Amino acid sequence: MNWLGYDVQEWVAVITIVGGAISLVVWIVKETITKPSNLQNKLLNRSINELSRQLETFAVEMKQERKSIYKKLEEHDRRLDSHDRRLDRHHEKIKTTILKEKRYYD
């Protein structure tokens, strides 16, 4: 049986050679592109996971540090309020003393 001037055995041989060549190209692409890309992706995923873990740890530490800072700020606010009240009392005392002296000398 002939088709386009070639015998069935010749067509089978051509198809086998073309199939083998395509398989070889696919294997080469897989070995040279796909496997290294997969390895790089695995390494990148490890790096991302490690950075994520470090970021979570950092976030927890920063939260604790913020709490400590807020406590200190609250204490400073209380102390400043106390100083303000004392200053107001001193100011009133001074004002009263000056008024008394002014009356004394008038």
* pTM score over 0.75: no
Pinpoint the alpha helices (H) of the chain. 8-29, 35-105
pLDDT in tens, 9-66: 888 999 999 999 999 999 998 888 888 888 888 999 999 999 999 999 999 999 999 9
Sketch the domain layout of the chain as residue ranges: 2-105
pLDDT of residue 36: 83
DSSP state of 4: T
Q: Say if residue 3's pLDDT is above 90.
A: no
Phi, psi of 6 (to 5 degrees): -115, 145
Q: Please say if the pLDDT value at position 106 is more than 70.
A: no
